[in-house]
Chain A
Amino acid sequence: MLNEFDLAALIVTLKLASISTLILLIIGTPLAWWLANSKWKLKPLLEALIALPLILPPTVLGFYLLISLGPHGAVGGAMQWLGAQPLAFTFAGLVIGSVIYSMPFVVQPLQNAFVAIGTRPMEVAATLRATPMDRFFTVAVPLARTGFVTAAVLGFAHTVGEFGVVLMIGGNIPGETQVLSIAIYDHVEALEYGNAHILAGGLLLVSFIMLVVVYSLNRHFSLLQRSSR
């Protein structure tokens, strides 16, 4: 079955996806809320920037991240100047890469969910004495719950599935930065098709299940909405 390197890769992958998803939800929620409600002229610019990872080859993103996170890059240099290690080839570096890479998969479902709520429920909550923060947590968040589930599942699944970015900035260090997708690649290169099958098949199955959850949730949600009209 799984050898110790595969097991380590699995743990690194799950850890990376969980931490990245958590950070993405924390950053993505206010960002999506702002995008859903702002009338700022330059908003499309920001939306395009967030959506870039959808179409950009991951190696392009990984390449620029490697340069900026490395000891001579803007971020890496600053880290070094502060006495910290550069982030390239570290787990922390992977988290930064994953957050950027999976950002659109979290922000877009949340933004759509917030737009779908509209302004009325928030106005109602205001007339019922709820402060802006109160109405966000007691009205907007519960009404956007399927958006949150979709965002979390897609963010998690997409992080699990990343390859190019990790390869560029992670350095494939077992137990530190080696993730499942790269472990599969290594197995195939070594012609260990059996091991590759276990990992690849497992990822296929898990990804499929997660997407089924997302789609059935969204279907359930839209059906509910229709019946309440």
Chain B
Amino acid sequence: MSIECRFNIVRTDFVLDVDLMIPLTGVTAIFGPSGSGKTTFLRALAGLENNKGYLKVGDTIWQDEKYFLPTHQRSIGYVFQEASLFEHLNVKDNIEYGFKRAIESDQSVMHRAIILLQIEHLLGRRTDELSGGERQRVAIARALSLSPKMLLMDEPMASLDEKHKKEILPFLENLHAELDIPMIYVTHSIDEVAHLADQLILLDEGKVVGNGKISEMLTRLDLSLSHGERASSIIEAKVLEHDEHYNLTTIDFSGGQLFVPRKQLPVGCDVRLRVEARDVSLTAERQTQTSILNILPVIVDEISDESDAQVIVRLKAGDDLLLSCVTKKSAELLQLQKGKEIYAQIKSVALL
């Protein structure tokens, strides 16, 4: 199942021209700088832009040359950048507004949304008695209560301060883990992408510059995401075992095993790791006398200039990909080239 869309939206100061296939599973992040057309694209999916184009969701055509399915008949949940709660209704009535009109309403879904977002105690409140984070949680629950086929989110955290962002993020990760509903998530924050996204669509000036799996997109050296301070790779892994003596947790992925300070996670549970390019160094021989625990055999896949003095190297560790930022001098010394077998020393791994 997937979404097939072709939009050509011309505004006075801006043109959005996209032709995309989006899988109807997991979280797809639409990422790009402001003004790149992310929000316009999401609004077009919802039928909120009065635009020409083609849109097919699963087997159903939502829009073509002759036909336009109006927003209220599209099975979507939409979360706007500002919570946009109805101020003439209290929290409960806001949530029930959509539920009562849902195409396939399911009381258990509404209750689950209320519990998942922990807003039971807010149901009787007026909307102006809520904090920014609470408002956005109510808005997300309101959208979920429709039992939609997909959830569209337009930078749901952009209008929140850091404290409230930290409050919302776990809920969004929960949605990702608990609900079997595809999410299309517009953001300009690479941290949110790293936490949430399975697929990534990169937009710039109204055009798609990349579309694919998050781990591939973050490590494609021809795209901007693999360069700069925060360049990093994402690895899906599993908790293998806990070392009680040294208080370490062993994590297993296709490229080998990694040790991290002990986490309270059950053995066998899925985890997502983020490894920053600046934390990965390269060595020709496996070092034994070193404080670095995480050393993996890798194969050089691609090399690209980062600055006058540095290169960024993409490495294959099993089926997963890593980035490493090293000096040009080191690259020459190690005779780095595609296909070369080498060792990556990983100084730090973040569990997301």
A contact residues vs B (CB 8 Å cutoff): 120-121, 123-132, 134-135, 138-139, 142-143, 145, 224, 227-228
Contact = CB atoms under 8 A, between A and B. Distances in A.
Query: Which 3 residue pairs are nearest across A and B when measured between Cβ atoms?
Result: A128-B98, A129-B101, A228-B128
Contacts of A124: 78, 80, 84, 86
Given A124-B86, A128-B72, 13 more contacts: A120-B82, A123-B71, A124-B78, A127-B78, A127-B98, A128-B97, A128-B98, A129-B146, A130-B72, A138-B97, A139-B86, A143-B88, A227-B128
B48 A129 contact: no
Contact of B86 (A121, A129, A132): A121
B80 A228 contact: no
A130 B103 CA distance: 11
B141 to A, nearest CB: 12
Nearest to B96: A128
Contacts of B46: 127
B88 A127 contact: no
Contacts of B47: 126
A129 B102 contact: yes
Contacts of B80: 120, 123-124
Interface in B57-95: 70-73, 76-78, 80, 82, 84, 86-88
Contacts of A120: 80, 82, 84
A199 to B, nearest CB: 40
Nearest to B128: A228
Nearest to B145: A128
A129 B74 CA distance: 8
Contacts of B128: 224, 227-228
Contacts of B88: 139, 142-143, 145
A83 to B, nearest CB: 46
16 contacts: A121-B86, A123-B48, A124-B80, A124-B86, A125-B86, A126-B48, A127-B71, A127-B143, A129-B98, A129-B101, A129-B102, A130-B97, A134-B101, A135-B72, A143-B88, A224-B128
A101 B132 CA distance: 46
B102 to A, nearest CB: 6
A131 B46 CA distance: 14
Contact of B72 (A129, A139, A227): A129
A128 B84 contact: no
Contacts of B76: 127
